[in-house]
Copies of this chain bind each other. A is one copy, B any other.
Amino acid sequence: MIAGVIGATGYAGAELVRLLAAHPKVTELALASVSFEGARIEDVYPNFMGKVTARLVKPEEAAAQADAVFAALPAGAGEAYAEACVGRGAPFIDLSADFRFGTDEALYQAWYGKGWAKPALREAAVYGLPELNRARIWEQAAAGRVIIGNPGCYPTGASLGAFPALARGLVDEGARVIVDSASGVTGGGREPARAFHYPECADSLAPYKVGCHRHSPEIARNFAAMAGRPVQVTFTPHLAPMNRGILSTIYLPLKREWQARPAGSACLPPGPEAAARAEAIHHLYKEFYAKEPFVRVLPAGVPAATGRVRMSNFCDISVTLDQSGTILIAASAIDNMVKGAAGQAVQNLNVIMGWDETSGLEAVPALF
């Protein structure tokens, strides 16, 4: 199959190229870039030298030729290519936010500051978090018209970390869930900017876009979809001095029957009751994800660490109770460029095509 990538020279695009170049079912790449049209991708990304030598074409060409098309473009820029692909039955996997909100154009507009040029395309759109929507992706693929709204990086980690607790009814319905996340700097993309200038982000940690990051509604929507009820979410992103990875620490207030100790007691170390509850919840998480190829619920005592999923499509999850026994603290780690972007997009392609879901995503992560 010919896989097309539009926006191949941005970071998410380049990561798609890296993964697709090694995908056993992909025989050819059609790579498109507006900025570097005509150049070879190995001239823009010397790391590809000798491995990916394709010449960059116009976006329309990639959209017309490829058997499946990925787009890694700014908000709003991919709709025309989506239409072209859907029109001829080619799957279109979009890494922007354009197709993540179903038909809720108002919500999109509220956060992205503009509406959709072609709202009707949303009929074909599925939010591409396979752990949530695998069946719907299959259905839509079977219908021969499929656009994937590939999830945002933060929503991927946050959702996978919280899903079992939400699905199994552990979480107090009146309470707010707090998602505290930190991302590596590749999340900022390829364009040089002060915020991503080495001397200003090395050896430093800081929050950003507090209270107003666009991934907030996507997280809230996913939580609600899994819980089957609205879920109040507070989300804070941080920039961490590392290249890849998102760690999300998720605070899920437990229903009274899941709590290990009555709220209001003194601040003491966790006792045996907390250990028992934690074990039950750990078991529940293990079971929930037992068949998922890319979610690993870590053994008790091993915290999720971004370094251990680097360059892989895994999402590692650790679960613990807080000291009071009333809050479940789930931590999830992903590689923001893989499971948080390009890897998940390839996973979606695999789901659509009916291939083994791990095709091209078999990388064994290193510890270092």
**A contact residues vs B (CB 8 Å cutoff):** 11, 14-15, 18, 21-22, 43, 45-52, 107, 110-111, 176, 178, 180, 182, 184-186, 188, 190, 192-194, 196-208, 210-212, 216-217, 220-221, 230, 232-236, 238, 240-245, 247, 249, 251, 253, 263-264, 266-270, 274, 296, 298-299, 302-311, 316, 318, 320-324, 326-327, 329, 331, 333, 337, 362-368
Count copies of this chain in the complex. Answer: 4
Q: List 26 A-B contacts (CB under 8 A).
A: A21-B364, A47-B307, A52-B364, A107-B266, A111-B269, A176-B253, A180-B249, A182-B205, A185-B198, A185-B202, A188-B198, A188-B199, A190-B197, A196-B198, A204-B308, A206-B303, A206-B333, A210-B320, A210-B322, A211-B323, A212-B323, A234-B324, A236-B322, A240-B241, A311-B311, A337-B368
Q: How far is the CA of A216 from the CA of B309 in the complex (A)?
A: 29
Q: A207-B303, A337-B366 are in contact. List 14 more A-B contacts (CB 8 A).
A: A15-B366, A18-B365, A45-B367, A46-B316, A47-B364, A47-B366, A111-B268, A176-B263, A196-B197, A202-B368, A205-B307, A206-B305, A206-B307, A206-B331
Q: Which 4 A-B pairs have the closest CB atoms?
A: A204-B307, A206-B305, A192-B192, A199-B368
Pairwise interchain contact B244-A368, C-beta atoms closer than 8 A: yes
Complex Cα gap A161–B247 (Å) = 22
Residues of B within 8 A of A111 (CB): 268-269
Most buried by B among A18, A199, A247, A298: A199
A110→B268 contact, CB < 8 A: yes
Q: How far is the CA of A233 from the CA of B337 in the complex (A)?
A: 34
B48, B185, B234, B241: the one within 8 Å of A322 (CB): B234
Q: Identify the closest chain B residue to A51 (Cβ).
A: B364
Q: How far is B228's CA from A233's CA once the two chains are assembled, in angstroms?
A: 29
Q: How far is the CA of A298 from the CA of B49 in the complex (A)?
A: 8
Which residues of the partner chain B approach A316 to less than 8 Å between Cβ atoms? 46, 49
Cβ-defined contact, B196 with A326, below 8 A: no
> Within the complex, what minimum Cβ distance (angstroms) separates A48 from chain B?
7
Given A207-B249, A243-B199, are A270 and B212 also a contact pair (CB < 8 Å)?
A: yes
A276 to B239, CA, bound (A): 26
Cβ–Cβ < 8 Å partners of A203 in chain B: 184, 202-203, 242-245, 306-307, 310
